[in-house]
Amino acid sequence: MKTKKAIKLISGLLTVLIVIWLTWTFMKNPYSTRREVEKMDLSESEVSDRDNYDQLVRLDKEQGNDFLISKVKYAKVVKESFPFSSRRLDAVQTRLILEVLNDTSSYRWGEFGTPTYDQTIFYYDSTDKIIGYTIIDNMGEIQNYPYRSLMKWGMMTDKGFSRLIKLMNRK
């Protein structure tokens, strides 16, 4: 009789722990974190097209609007699917990734399909506050917040995307 009660108690506790863990995991998913970052209402550039691209990129440079390059201390890569595992990128990886994302030759003009984002890179400042993100589709489409005109429409070149993934996966 005591073993049945012990089994019920243990299974009940495990169920409660699993429910708590699942609830916490889903409340901390990348989507809700991105929405919190967007509430900060950071200054974004105007979305560029082929006609106004040069003018908008020049304006961004004059105003010192790069994509977070001088503000980020480190970054974390988070999987977009359950269980939303994450890993921290060191300062060197983070700086190199930001250099790729700030390089206009990493992007091409292209049609957006319907992206299925697989990973998010969250960027942190020296106070451990999230100050931006990049969401990544495995076909080379990305979305950055805050947006900069040099990113065209977010479609990366094969070379730029390959460099980004290689840097993200470097250990």
Query: So where are the chain's domains?
Result: 2-169
The amino acid occupying position 57 is: V
The answer on pLDDT for 84 being more than 80 is: no
User: What is the residue whose two structure tokens read 């509430």?
Assistant: 39
Task: Judge whether residue 89 has pLDDT over 90.
Answer: yes
The pLDDT, as a whole number, for residue 112 is 66
Q: What is the pTM of this model?
A: 0.77
pLDDT tens, position by position, 105-157: 898 887 667 888 889 999 999 999 898 899 999 888 988 888 888 888 888 99
Q: In this structure, what DSSP letter does residue 141 have?
A: B
Give the residue among 98, 110, 60, 88 at the shortest CA–CA distance from 171: 88
Residue 56 is predicted with a pLDDT of: 85
Length of the chain: 171
Backbone angles phi, psi at 53, to 5 degrees: -55, -55
Q: CA-CA distance, 108 to 142, in Å (whole number)?
A: 12
Token duo for residue 31: 């989507």
User: What's the pLDDT at 146?
Assistant: 87
For 29-154, list the strands marked E by DSSP: 74-79, 86-89, 107-108, 117-124, 130-137, 142-145
